[in-house]
Copies of this chain bind each other. A is one copy, B any other.
Amino acid sequence: MTVQNALQETRFERGSRALARIDGAGGETVVNALADIAPDFARYLVEFPFGDIYSRPELGLRDREIATIAALAAMGNAAPQLKIHIEAGLNVGLSRVEIVEVMMQMAVYAGFPAALNGLFAAKEVFAEHEIAG
């Protein structure tokens, strides 16, 4: 893509590229699942989190996924999204060991149950990779 095209790209186009790069098929599945109940929200999801926030060059995608995995594990009330972002972390360059370390560290800030549930979510995602790979 040329610089000029990038400048002309809409938020939705930029967000779609970011979403595909980060979440892979998982992102597309969520967007499709919204199509019948809240199609505008599917668009907002692409535009704001991915077109606006994740596309900002001030912080790399690997750093952004550390932040997201930590937050979702700490809050502990968004299991499906946590699994998608463990997957996303692998996609943007985090190793399994690094993801496991982030989960362990959450024991300090959100308690051992949050860390355990994060670790078991990671274990599931890693196992799905074995099978798929």
Residues of A with Cβ closer than 8 Å to B?
Answer: 30, 33-34, 36-38, 40-41, 44-45, 48-49, 52-54, 56, 58-59, 63-64, 66-78, 80-81, 97-98, 100-117, 119-120, 122-123, 126
**16 further interface pairs, Cβ-Cβ under 8 Å (given A45-B112, A71-B109, A108-B111):** A37-B126, A38-B119, A41-B103, A44-B104, A59-B101, A64-B105, A67-B102, A67-B105, A71-B106, A75-B109, A78-B111, A80-B116, A109-B112, A110-B110, A110-B111, A111-B114
- What are 17 A-B interface contacts by the 8 Å CB criterion? A41-B100, A45-B112, A49-B112, A53-B104, A56-B104, A59-B105, A64-B105, A66-B66, A66-B67, A67-B70, A68-B70, A70-B70, A72-B113, A75-B77, A80-B116, A109-B113, A111-B114
Assess whether B75 is in contact with A110, with CB atoms less than 8 Å apart: yes
Assess whether B108 is in contact with A49, with CB atoms less than 8 Å apart: yes
Known: A45-B112, A75-B75, A100-B37. A66 touches B58 (CB 8 A): no
Question: A65–B107 Cα gap in the complex (Å)?
Answer: 14
Partner of A113, one of B33, B64, B78, B103: B78
- Determine how many copies of this chain the complex contains: 6
Contacting residues, chain B, for A107 (C-beta < 8 A): 41, 44, 53, 111
